[in-house]
Amino acid sequence: MFIDTVAVSMTTIRSYDLYKVPPRWVFLRIETSSGLVGWGEPIIEGRADTVIAAVEELMDKYLIGEESAKIEHHWQLLYRGGFFRGGPILMSAIGGIDQALWDIKGKQHGAPVHDLLGSNVREQVRVYQNINSDDTDDYRDLANEAVEAGYNVLKLFPATQRQYVEGPEEIDEICRRVEIVRETVGPTVDIAVDLHGRISTSMCQRLCSRLDEFDPIFIEEPVRPERMLSIDRQSLSFQSPLALGERLHTRWEFKTHFNQIPIDIAQPDPTHAGGISEVRRIADIADANGIDLVFNCSVGPIASSSCLHLAAYAPNTVMQPTPANRYISDYIENPDVFSQQDSYVDVPSKPGLGIHIDRETVTEQAGNSVNWQNPIWRHDDMSFAEW
Ligand SMILES: [Mg+2]
């Protein structure tokens, strides 16, 4: 007897709930007619209410009563149906919905999401630890702690509040922080440097060429997003790989950047860039351009798990941020899914996204006031400073 089909009953989207929870996250729960539930994380950090309004509008207008499995069909409608497209709010709203629909589809088929994307190409995903302090003296201890915890890659944020154009003392201080970490961890631990868009295009050239000496695995977002397209490797003297993309939101934005500037590492975010569906495409386009991936993920467990599935699928993945975070384990019943062996997390193997959200805790926490905003920094003359 040959079996070439397995009955998978059609399931429609029946209802949804949104939860704004500490520290700065939004969880979307979609329930279907068959009782299957999927979770997504639609959020732009600091603009939670705006994204919630967008999700409500999209769900109510387009998705209630529709078949949950038609993910790409829905993606096209959500992206193109309003005539105006793209941007962080719409793409993050679509991103959270898309994650929840993939979660449902995986559960429907009894398969992890990466299996539905093709398959996993790796068993584990490398993860990095952030190191961030305003005090240069902290960098040695923080680096030691991370290495003792097993990390073999660290990401530093050495450029705290900066004027766009700085003198030698400030440049020396940024370099000193990276130098301390290199001295502490030696050559076998990788160091990434995230400049958080805090420096000018002209300072980028001066600073990044100095950072080459410490062999960073990459230098991330040296200048603010609207200035990224001004970076021209020919006019710059630094050799370190260039990473960016956490503030790009569609495959077309990535394509423009891939075509115009010499990116070595793309950093799409599975929430902010339109969900698993769109980030998968960005991953493939990056691969076709000879560009590797370090996924961005600065929010909660559902986005982190989405990241792991994409990292499992995409051969050009280098690593992603560690999901080790107190808040993440607060919201899931199976925190072992994120358990780490040194600098590695196993690819999830359970159906869907592979995490069990603790709805009771989520409901409880959603009652608490959550109004996280990123800090607003000012220079001495009160002009705006990049956070
Ligand atoms: Mg960054």
Q: Could you tell me whether strands 124-131 and 37-40 are parallel, antiparallel, or unpaired per DSSP bridges?
A: unpaired
Task: For Cα atoms 354, 20, 34, give the angle at the middle one, nearest 5 degrees.
Answer: 45
Pair (274, 164) in one structural domain: yes
* Within-domain flag for 7: no
Pair (207, 335) in one structural domain: yes
* CA 154 / ligand 1 centre spacing (Å): 13
Domain boundary among 111, 127, 147: 111
Pair (104, 143) in one structural domain: no
3-class SS string, 282-295: HHHHHHHCCCEEEC
* Within-domain flag for 365: no
* CA 259 / ligand 1 centre spacing (Å): 21
pLDDT of residue 11: 93
Bridge partners, 37 (sequence order): 31
Instruction: Provide mean pLDDT across the span 197-208.
Output: 87
Helix, strand, coil share of the chain (percent; to 5) = 40, 20, 40
Q: What is the pLDDT of residues 278-296, one digit of tens each?
A: 999 999 999 999 999 999 9
What is the distance in angstroms between the CA of the first residue and the CA of the last residue of the chain?
Answer: 64
Q: Which of 119, 69, 99 is nearest to 278 (CA)?
A: 99
Pair (130, 151) in one structural domain: yes
CB contact at 8 A, 260 and 287: no
Pair (344, 218) in one structural domain: yes
User: For residue 58, how many other CB atoms are within 10 A of its CB?
Assistant: 21
pLDDT of residue 233: 64
Phi, psi angles (nearest 5°) of residue 358: -85, 95
* Within-domain flag for 1: no
Domain boundary among 53, 76, 111: 111
Q: What pLDDT band is residue 164 in, cutting at 50, 70 and 90?
A: low
Q: Could you tell me the CATH number of the domain that includes residue 64?
A: 3.30.390.10
Q: Could you tell me the CATH number of the domain that includes residue 305?
A: 3.20.20.120
* CA 89 / ligand 1 centre spacing (Å): 18
Q: What is the pLDDT of residues 136-145, one digit of tens each?
A: 999 999 999 9
**Alpha-carbon 252 to chain mean position:** 18
The domain containing residue 119 runs over which residues?
Answer: 115-353
Amino acid at 217: I
Pair (137, 274) in one structural domain: yes
Domain boundary among 95, 111, 127: 111
Pair (221, 347) in one structural domain: yes
Number of domains composing the chain: 2
Q: Could you tell me whether strands 190-194 and 377-378 are parallel, antiparallel, or unpaired per DSSP bridges?
A: unpaired
Its pTM stands at 0.95
* CA 219 / ligand 1 centre spacing (Å): 10
* CA 194 / ligand 1 centre spacing (Å): 6
* CA 222 / ligand 1 centre spacing (Å): 9
Between 270 and 386, the higher pLDDT residue: 270
Pair (68, 21) in one structural domain: yes
Has residue 356 got a pLDDT over 70? yes
Which residues are within 8 A (CB) of 17 and not within 5 positions of it... i.e. 6 or more apart?
A: 28, 29, 31
Pair (270, 336) in one structural domain: yes
